[in-house]
Amino acid sequence: MDGSSLERRLRVRIKGAVHRFAAVVPPGFERAAMAELEACGISDFDAPAKGLVFWQGKIESFWTAHAIARLPASIRWQVAEFGATGFAELRRKCERVEWELFLPEGAPVRLSVASDSSRLWHEGAIAEEIERALAAGGHAVGDEGTSLFARMERDRCALWLEGDPEPLYRRGLDKRVAAAPLRDNLAWGLLLESGIGSVSRLCDPMCGSGSFSLEAFLASSGAHPAKTRRFDFERWPSTRERAWEHLRAHLPERHPLAPENPRIDCSDLDPDAVSTALSNFAATGLPGAPEPRVEQFFDLKPEAAEGRSLLVLNPPWGKRIAERDLRKLYAEIGRKIAADFRSWDWMVLAPGLEAEKALGLRWERKLLFRSGGIGLGALFGRA
C-alpha cells in the first residue's frame, strides 16, 4: 500500500471519525474521573462501570486525556467490536481489522483476553485465534509491545488498544517510595474528592514519600503527564506528530482542577520518610517546591484557617501498627483535629470501622477504596 493511500484512510477512518475510549481508574473514583476528564474538555460520556469511565470523541480527546488527566491508571481505545460465536469467525473478523491504521508496521503486541457469558469461553483458545490473526498482519504476540485487550462478552468481541503499557500513575519522575505508599493517581483522586481546586493551604503532616503534597504541587505547577513522560501511542500511525506536539506545547498553565499557588506544608515524624520526600520534590526540577521537614503531627500548632485550608492524613495502617495501637492513634488524631484544626476541612484515611469509631469525629462523607490489597475508607469532614 502506498503512503498516500494510507494517509487518506487515516484522515477518513481516524481523524474524521468518532471513537470510543475508556479510562481505567481506581474503583470508587469513577465520578471524580468523569469530572476531571470533563474539566480537560472531554464530554459525551457513556454510563460508567466499576473502575471504568467511557466516552465517545475524536482521537484528540484520547491524546488530551493522556496529556493532562492524573487519575486514570490507563486509557484505552476501542479499535474494533463485532459478534463472534465460533473460533473461525473470531479469527476471520480479527484479520479484517485494519491494523495498519493502529499499529506501526511489524510492532509487537502484548495480548490480554477475558471472556464472560459467551460461547467462546476458553480464554487460551481465544488468544490463539487472535494471535494468528495478528501474525497474518505481521504482528507477533509476546511479553512486550503495545497492549491489546480482547474482551468477549455475550458473544461479542471488543478489541482495545492501551495508550501506553506503563501505568499512568508512574509520572516519569525518578521517584523514591517510603513504606506502604499510596499510588500517585490514588493520592490525586483523594485530593479531587477533597475539593483541592478551592484550597489555599494544604497540610500534609504524615507525608511519607510525599504523594499528596507532590501531586498537589505538580498539578498546580502545570507539570502535566505529557511534560514528564512519553507514551506508546506517540509512535502509532494514527498520531499526527505536528498535532500532538502542538497540543503538548499549548497545555494549560496548571491542571484545570488544581488551585493556583497553594501553600503546601509537608512533614513527617520519620527522618527517612522526609529524606525520601525531599528527594522526590528535587526530582521534579521545578522551582518553589515544598520543603518537607521532620515534625511530629501532635506537636503542630497550625495557624488559623485562611481561605479554605485542608488537612490530609494517611496514618500508619496494615502491618505497620498493631490493632490496639491503631485505636489509640486514631483517638489521638481525632482529639488533635478537634482541638487545633478548627475551621479546617480534613480528610483522614481509616482502615476499618474500629479506626473510624476511635477517631471520634463527625464525618460528612466516606469513600471506600483499596490500596495495597487493603480496604480503606477516606473520611471527609470539617473541624
Express each pLDDT in 213-224 by its tens digit.
Answer: 999 999 999 999
On whether both 191 and 287 belong to a single domain, the answer is yes
Q: Is residue 73 in a domain?
A: yes
- Amino acid identity, position 289: A
Residues 158 and 203 in one domain: no
For the cut 90, the answer to whether the pLDDT of residue 180 exceeds it is no
pLDDT at 372: 83
Instruction: Judge residue 249's burial from the number of C-beta atoms within 10 Å of its C-beta, 0-12 exposed, 13-18 middle, 19 or more buried.
Output: exposed
What three-state secondary structure class fits 109? strand
Dig out the grid coordinates for 288 from the structure.
Answer: 518553589
* Residue 317 pLDDT: 78
Whether 130 has a pLDDT exceeding 70, the answer reads yes
324: pLDDT confidence band, cut at 50, 70 and 90? confident
* Backbone φ and ψ of 364, nearest 5°: -90, -25
- Side-by-side strand order, sheet with 19-24: 52-57, 19-24, 74-83, 156-162, 146-153, 109-116
Quick one: how many helices (H) and strands (E) in the chain? 12, 13
User: Is residue 253 very low, low, confident or very high in pLDDT (cuts 50, 70, 90)?
Assistant: very high
Q: Has residue 1 got a pLDDT over 60?
A: no
280 with 335, same domain: the answer is yes
Out of 12-21, 120-129, 147-156, 297-306, pick the least confident.
297-306
Give me the residue label for grid cell 474503583. Answer: 27
User: 153 forms bridges with which residues in the sheet?
Assistant: 116, 156
Integer Cα distance of 356 and 374 in angstroms: 15
Is residue 351 classed as helix, strand or coil in its secondary structure?
Answer: coil
Q: Is residue 251 a part of any domain in this protein?
A: no
Residue 277 and residue 137 share a domain: no
Give the mean pLDDT of 294-307.
90
Q: What are phi and psi of 27, to 5 degrees?
A: -55, 135
Residue 172 included in any domain: no
Q: Are residues 196 and 138 part of one domain?
A: no
Q: Are 204 and 312 in contact (CB under 8 A)?
A: yes
Say if residue 311 is in the same domain as residue 369: yes
> In this structure, is residue 70 part of a structural domain?
yes
Residues 81 and 194 in one domain: no
Model-wide pTM > 0.85 = yes
CATH of the domain at 306: 3.40.50.150
- The residues that bridge with 293 in the sheet, in sequence order, are 267
Residue 230 falls within a domain, yes or no?
no
C-alpha cell of residue 21: 475510549
Does residue 149 sit in the same domain as residue 196? no
In a domain, 169, yes or no: no
Q: Are residues 198 and 315 in the same domain?
A: yes
Inside any domain, residue 108: yes
Residue 110 maps to a domain: yes
pLDDT at 320: 67
- Please tell me whether residues 351 and 211 are part of one structural domain: yes
Residue 221 vs residue 303, higher pLDDT: 221
Is it the case that residue 183 has pLDDT exceeding 70? yes
- Spatial separation of the C-alpha atoms in residues 85 and 264, rounded to whole Å: 57
The parent domain of residue 311 ranges over 184-222+258-382
Beta strands 146-153 and 19-24, pairing class: unpaired
Q: What is the DSSP string of 134-188?
A: HHHTT--BSSSSEEEEEEEETTEEEEEEES-SS-TTS-SS-----SSPPPHHHHH
264 in the same domain as 365 = yes
pLDDT at 58 over 70: yes
Average pLDDT over residues 145-165: 98
Interatomic CA distance for residues 383 and 379, integer angstroms: 12
Q: Are residues 86 and 191 both part of a single domain? A: no
pLDDT at 306 over 90: no
The answer to whether 213 touches 277, Cβ cutoff 8 Å, is yes
Q: How far is CA 332 from the centre of its chain?
A: 32
CATH number, residue 34: 3.30.2130.30
Residue 313 pairs with which residues in a beta bridge? 348
Q: Identify which of 74, 226, 371, 347 has the alpha carbon closest to the alpha carbon of residue 218.
A: 226
Is the pLDDT at 3 greater than 80? The verdict is: no
Q: Say how many domains are in the chain.
A: 2
pLDDT at 103: 97
